[in-house]
Structure 1
Amino acid sequence: MTTAKSSKVPTSRLARFGSLASLASRVAGGMLAEGARQLAQGQKPALQQVLLTPANAKRVTQQLAHMRGAAMKLGQLLSMDAGDLLPPALSGILAQLRAHGSPMLPAQLAAVLKQEWGADWQRQFSHFSFAPLAAASIGQVHAANHDNGRPLAVKIQYPGISTSIDSDVDNVATLLRISGLLPQGLAIDPLLAEAKQQLHQEADYLQEARYLQRYQQLLAADQRFLLPELYPELSSRHILTMGFVDGVALDELSRQPQTLRDGVMSDLFELLFLEIFSFRLVQTDPNFANYRYNLATNQLVLLDFGACRDYSPTVSDGYRQLFRGLLQQDQSIQLQALQQIGYFGTDIVPAQQQAVLDLVSLAAEPLQQAVYDFAASDLAPRMRDAGLQLSTRLRYWHTPPVDALFLHRKMAGLFLLAKQLQAKVSVRALLEPFL
C-alpha cells in the first residue's frame, strides 16, 4: 500500500500551466539566492551550479509528481531515454519520478468513481478500499471485492490527465529548454511527439484492456506466466478493473535461491525475444513494478499493458539480422541491420557511424558469454561513458528511431533487474532459437 501523502490533482489546463509557471518562478528565485551566495564567497556562479541546487531539485521533483500525468511521465521518459546526455543532477531529479507518485484526495477519488460508475457504484462491490495500493503517473490502483466476493484490482485514472497531455508535454519541454539544461544539439522533438502518442494510448484504459486480452491469447499455453482476468463490465476509458493476482515484488526475490532468480530472469529474457520475433508486440515499460512473482505457483505475474507497442515485420527482421551480426561479430551485417531498422540519419559521418557500431557491440556483451553474470558486470557505466563520448567528442546527438528507443529501454530495464537480482543467465542460448 502506498504511504505517499494525498494531494489534489490539478485538472484544468490553466491550473496545470500555473503549476509549471509557479515552479519556474520558485526555481528562478532559488537560482538568484544561490548565485548571490556564491558571489558573496568570491566565486563566479555557473548556470548549472545555481540551477541544480538540492533545493531546486526537490522543487522540480515534487511539482512534477504533484501534477502527475504527462508532466511526470515526460520526466520519466527523459530520465530513461536521455539520461546519459543530461547533467547528472538533472538526471537524478528526473529519475526520482520513476518511483514517486502521490494519490489523489479521497473526495476527488469519490467524484471520479461517481462520474464513471454512477451514484450507486458501490452496489457492485462487497468492499472497496479508498486507500490505494499504488500511485503512479497516470493513475492509482485500489483493492476491492466484487459483489460475488472475488478480489479485484481497480486502476483509476487521475481526472483531467487525458485532456492535458499535449499541453503538459509542450510546457515541460519549454521549461527544460529555457533552463539551458538540455544539450544544444539534442533533437528532442521526435521524443516529444512520441511521448504524446504513447501517453494518449496509456490514458485509454480500453486500449490497455485490448492489449491485456491479446497477451492472454498469446501466452495462454505458457504456464510460466500469470495474467489478471479482465472485468470489461467494470472497465471504461478511465477505469480498468482486473482480478487481483497475488505476488511479491521482484526485488524481494533477492533473498530467494540463485536458481529461482536465474529462472525468473531467463523467463523474462525469453519473453522479450518472443515479443520481438514471434508476437511483434512488446510491452515497452521497464518499470519493475509491472511484474510480480507468485511463490505459491512459481509463476511470473504480468500486470501492466498500457505501454505496449506493435512492431512491423521490417523492424522485427532488422533486429533478427542485428543479433545475427552481433553473434557472428560481423559489423557489415550489423550496419545493414541498423539501416533497415532506420537507425542512421542522412547526416552521419563515418566516424560517428563506427562509434555507434562499437556502442551496439558493447551492449551485446551478454551475448558473447555462455553464461552472463549480471552481478559482476560493469557494463552499465561503460555504456554510459561510451554514449557520452559519442555525444560530446563526436557531437552526435541523433535520436534513434522511436521503435528502437522504446525497445532499448525495455532491454536496459531487464539488464538492471538482472543485476539487482544478481542473476546468471544464458542469454545467448535463449536468443539463438529465434534467429
Structure 2
Amino acid sequence: MSDRDRYRPVPQGRLNRLAALGQIAGGVASGVVSEGLSRLAKGERPHLRDLLLTPSNARKAADQLSRMRGAAMKLGQMVSLDPGEFLPPELQAIFSQLRSSAHFMSPGQLSASLASAWGPDWRRHFSRFDVTPMAAASIGQVHRAVLISGRSLAVKVQYPGVARSIDSDIDNVATFLRLSGLVPAGLDLAQHLAEARRQLHEEADYLREAEQMRRFRALLAGDARFVVPAPVEELLRPTVLPMDFVEGVPIERLAAVPEATRETAMRALADLALSELFTLGVMQTDPNFGNYLWRPEDGRIALLDFGAVRPVMPDSAESYRRLLQAILSGRNETVRAAFLDMGYLSSAQVARHGRMLDEMMSTVLEYVLQAPEGLVDFSDRGPLVAVRERSQSLFADRSLWTLPSPDKMFLQRKITGMALLALKLRVRLPVVEMLSRHA
C-alpha cells in the first residue's frame, strides 16, 4: 500500500464509527456464508468460529480497523501479539499489520488538528514540518519537524475524535464479540473491558503521557543502556505531544546484527521489564515493537511511547514473584498452584486437564532450568510448538476458560511481548540468573 492510499479521514461520531464496524460485520458475514457453503459442498461441517477466522475475513477486519483507528484498532492490536505458533501463518501476517500500519488522517484533518492545538499560524514555530507521517498507530500519528531554534522533534498528533469514541468503540466491539461466538458466553469480560476503557482514556491524554515520559527519564537517568526523549513543554497540548527526535532503527532489525549485539539489547529490555515489575512499581505495558529504536552508533535503546504506563499493584507483583519462585523450584505442583492463585487456571481445568498441564509445565521447566550453559535459546521453537500441541484440548474446552485480574492481564501483555521479541531476535539469555535476582 502506497502512502497515497493510506490517507483516509478518521471516522468521527458514534454513528459513523458504528457504521464502520457494521462494514466489518457485513463483510465478514458475507465471507462466512461463502466459505460455509464452500465447505458444506465438500462434505465438511464447519463451526462458526472457524469460518470467522479465515484469512479473507481477517484481512477485511484488519483493513477496516486500520481505517477506523482509535480504541477499535487498539483492541485489535492487543489480540494480535502472537509468535506465529498459535495463529495460522496467514492470519498472523494479516493481524500483524495492525501493529504498524494504520491509515493516515487526511491533510485537512491534520491541519485542523494542529490549528486547534497551536492556532492558525502554527507553522511559525517550525523551520520544517513534514506533513507525511513517519509512523501511524491506533491513537495518533507521528511527524518529523524542526523548530526555529534548530531542535529536531518527533510530533505525535492525535486522530480527531478518537478520545470521544473510546467508550462507544469498546461497547461496539464487546457486542461484536458476544454475537460472534468467539468468546464463551459464560466468560465475563465486563471488568476487563472497563479497565481497557480506562487505560485507553489515559493513553489519549498526551499531558499524562508527557508526565510519564519525564518520570521514566528520571528513573533511568543513570542507566546508560536507554535513551528517553524529553517533551517540548511550550508546545505540549492534550492532543499533541512534541518530543526530541531520536535517531535509530526499528528494534526488529537487530535480527540481522551479530549475536552478542542482539543479546545485549534484548537483555537490557528484559532487565527493564523485570525492574518495572519488581522494583520500580510502574510499567510501560504496551510491548508494540514500534515503541523501541536501537541506535547502532552506541547500542543504546530509545524508549518512545509512555501512554500505557500504569502502576504495578503490590498484590500483582507479589503474585508474579511467587510464580517466579515456583518456576525456579522446578516443581510442577508449585507452578500449578501459582497459576491457580493468579487466576490463569481454574480448579476445574486442573481436574479435567491435569495430566496435559503437567506435561506443558514439565516442557517449560526443562527448557528454562536445564538450558545448556544456563542460556535459554529463544531461537529453538521446539518447546513452544510442543506446548501448543499439548494445549489444544485446553483451549478447545471453552466452557472452562478463565481470566486473571485486568491488572495482571496488562502486565502479562508486556511480559509476553518481551518473550516474543526474544523469539524474533533469536537470542540466548541467562533466564535463571535474571529471574533469581528478583526471587
**Structure 2 residue 57 is matched with structure 1 residue 56:** yes
Please name the residue that 1:287 is paired with. 288
1:56-105 Cα offsets, whole Å, 9 max, x none, are 33221111111011111111223349x99989977765444223311111
- Deviation at residue 14 of structure 1 after TM alignment: 1.0
1:308-328 Cα offsets, whole Å, 9 max, x none, are 121122322332232122112
Q: Distance in 1 between matches of 2:186 and 2:85?
A: 14
CA contact (8 A) 1:186 1:398 kept: yes
Q: Structure 1 residues 249, 408: closer, same or farther in 2, change over 3 A?
A: same
1:244-274 Cα offsets, whole Å, 9 max, x none, are 0111111212222211111111111111111
Please name the residue that 2:156 is paired with. 155
Q: Could you tell which deviates more after superposition, 142-151 or 368-377?
A: 368-377
- Deviation at residue 206 of structure 1 after TM alignment: 1.3
CA contact (8 A) 1:84 1:384 kept: yes
Please name the residue that 2:430 is paired with. 426
Q: Could you tell which deviates more after superposition, 221-230 or 41-50?
A: 41-50
Please name the residue that 1:227 is paired with. 228
Q: Distance in 2 between matches of 1:10 and 1:98?
A: 20
1:412 to 410, 416, 421: 416
CA contact (8 A) 2:65 2:72 kept: yes
SS at match of 2:437: helix
Q: Structure 1 residues 316, 37: closer, same or farther in 2, change over 3 A?
A: closer
Q: Distance in 2 between matches of 1:396 and 1:49?
A: 19
Over the residues paired in the alignment, what is the CA RMSD in angstroms?
Answer: 3.1
Q: How does 1:28-427 map to 2 (within 5 A)?
A: 28-37=29-38, 47-48=48-49, 50-80=51-81, 94-330=95-331, 334=335, 337-338=338-339, 341=342, 350-351=351-352, 362-363=363-364, 365-369=367-371, 370-393=374-397, 395-427=399-431
CA contact (8 A) 1:9 1:158 kept: yes
TM-score, reference length from structure 2:
0.88
1:405 maps to amino acid: M
Q: Distance in 2 between matches of 1:166 and 1:49?
A: 29
CA contact (8 A) 1:35 1:45 kept: yes
- Deviation at residue 346 of structure 1 after TM alignment: 7.9
SS at match of 1:137: coil
Q: Structure 1 residues 201, 347: closer, same or farther in 2, change over 3 A?
A: farther
CA contact (8 A) 2:231 2:242 kept: yes
Q: Distance in 1 between matches of 2:143 and 2:60?
A: 28
CA contact (8 A) 1:7 1:102 kept: yes
Percent identical? 42
Gaps of 5+ in 1: none
Q: Distance in 2 between matches of 1:188 and 1:362?
A: 31
Matched length? 435
2:63 maps to amino acid: Q
SS at match of 2:247: coil
Q: Distance in 1 between matches of 2:106 and 2:428?
A: 44
- Deviation at residue 406 of structure 1 after TM alignment: 2.0
